[in-house]
Amino acid sequence: MSVYDLTGRKALVTGGARGLGAGMAEALARAGAAVVIGDIQEEAGKATADSLRESGATAAFVSLDVTEDASWESAVSQTIDELGGLDIVVNNAGVEISGLVADLDPADVRRMLEVNVLGTALGVKHAFRAMRPDGPAGNGGAVVNISSVAATIPFPGIAGYAATKSAVDRLTRVAALESGKLGYGVRVNCVYPGLVPTEMGAKLAADMESLGLWPSAEAAVGDVIALTPLGRLGEVADMADAVVFLASDGARFITGAGLPVDGGMGM
């Protein structure tokens, strides 16, 4: 059996209704994992789960607001009941709200802090409680947090987002250390995705034009590509395959690490 085979593993993917999260859920399912989509977008989330089932995977949807502790507790409990365990949690849910530092909107920053930082922290909390030896799943596992290349390089117009994604990096490392020292048996890593032309990525490019930082969205994208040694934007599959790797036994001796999947942009 390949060390990247996830047959028998049970995964929960937050923000899995669409975009990168849906791609990650699909990649985990292709690798053999049973997958639960956790999202506030019920219709889209159920559609993604239905699509996975139609392809032969075991999949389900649970309603999950990552900013609410009780919602996490319920979603993890439902996931364990549905799948018979929990081995993988992918904290992908996130929001990006562009803005210049000189025009910073406290409400926008609070929203990003709640979803990107608190939401990820609660995901790690409930993954630990479920997967550690005294938990209802109890077999250890892997947590993969989704940071961003914005945590590794300065980029204009996204100070709040970059700050929250930098926090995800630090949270990942502290959590990995705690898990190891307390014998939880849970590896914790993060991924730094580069720019991907999803709905969020397209909006970011458009924001760069509206903020006056680039003459057009196309020019902004062109400059991102120019900064990327591999000479292209990222694809959903690039990010999803990295998540599968970190969730698999191929990464069995990797914890507290950040994996850039950015074509070299952040090096």
Task: Report pLDDT digits (tens) over 201-215.
Answer: 899 999 999 999 999
- Residue 187 has φ and ψ, to the nearest 5°, of -85, 145
The residue annotated as part of the active site, out of 4, 161, 184, 192, is 161
For 116-137, the pLDDT digits (tens) are 999 999 999 999 999 999 999 9
**Residue 122 in contact with residue 175, Cβ under 8 Å?**
no
* Mean of all residue pLDDT scores within the chain: 97
Q: What is the pLDDT of residue 198?
A: 87
List the strands of the sheet with 34-39, edge to edge. 59-63, 34-39, 10-14, 88-91, 141-146, 186-193, 258-261
Cβ count near 201 (within 10 Å): 20
pLDDT band with cut points at 50, 70 and 90 for residue 174: very high
Average pLDDT over residues 63-78: 98
Respond yes or no: is residue 161 known to be catalytic: yes
